[in-house]
Amino acid sequence: MFAQRIVLLAVIFLLWEINAAVARRQADQVTDANRNLRTADQNQAASERLLWSYDSKDDERRWGWPGDNSSAASKWFTAIAKYRKAKKTNFWYPDDFIYAKLRETHSEADIAVLCQKLMNTSKAKKVAKTLQHHLFQAWNNRGMRLEDVADLLGVLVSTTNSVRSGILVDYQLKLTGEAVNRVRHG
C-alpha cells in the first residue's frame, strides 16, 4: 500500500512538471513567433505610439485589434499566467524579465496600453496588472506627474480614449493613494 502511494505521488509530480514545462515552452514559442513587432527606435512620434493606429497602407499592427484575445501579446501573457500557476511562483518567469522582453521592441506607452487592454479583456489579468503596477512605480520613482504620463501616452489629460484615459485614472489613483499614505504616516 505504501509503495502504491509513492508511485501515485511520483506520477502526480511528473504530470505537474510536464504541465509546467509545456506552459514555459508555449510562452517561449509565442515570444519567438512574433517577429512583426515594431522596435522601440521606430516609436518616435506620439502618433506612432498609438496602439490601435490604423491607416489604409498598414494593417492593424503590434498587438492586434481591440478586444482581440488571439493577439500574440495576449497569448504570451496567458501562457505566462498558466506557467506561473503551474509552478506556483513567479521565480522562473519574473516580472522584470517580461518587462525587459517588451522593452526590447516597445515604448513604455505601448507597454502601459497593452497592460490596460489585457486587464480588461484577457485571462492574464493578474500578470498585466502586476506589470502595470511596476511600470507605474517606475514612473512615480522618476517623479512623473499626470501631465507627464499623458504626454508620454501622446494624449491630453482630458482624453476620451478609453484605454489611455484608464491608464491616466489608474496612475492618478496610485499617486493619490501614496500621498494619503505619506500624510497618514507623517
pLDDT top residue among 178 and 2: 2
Residue 25 reports pLDDT greater than 50: yes
Confidence of residue 15 (pLDDT cuts 50, 70, 90): low
What is the tens place of the pLDDT at every residue in 108-127?
888 888 888 888 766 778 88
What is the tens place of the pLDDT at every residue in 26-54?
666 654 444 444 444 433 333 334 444 43
Residue 121, pLDDT score: 67
Q: Which residues contact 42 (CB under 8 A, 6 or more apart)?
A: 48
What is the tens place of the pLDDT at every residue in 132-174?
888 888 888 899 888 888 888 887 767 666 677 788 888 888 8
Contact 52, 116 (CB under 8 A): no
Residue 61, pLDDT score: 41
Residue 182 reports pLDDT greater than 70: no
Residue 32, pLDDT score: 46
C-alpha distances (whole Å) from 96 to each of 36, 119, 131, 150 are 23, 18, 8, 24
| Residues of the chain by 3-state class (helix, strand, coil), percent to 5 | 70, 0, 30
Residues in the chain, total: 186
What is the tens place of the pLDDT at every residue in 50-97?
444 434 333 334 444 444 455 777 788 888 888 877 877 766 678 788
Looking at residue 27, its amino acid is: A
Residue 57, pLDDT score: 38
This prediction has a pTM of 0.55
* Cα within 13 Å of Cα(107), Cβ side: 19
Cα(151)–Cα(147) distance, rounded to whole angstroms? 6
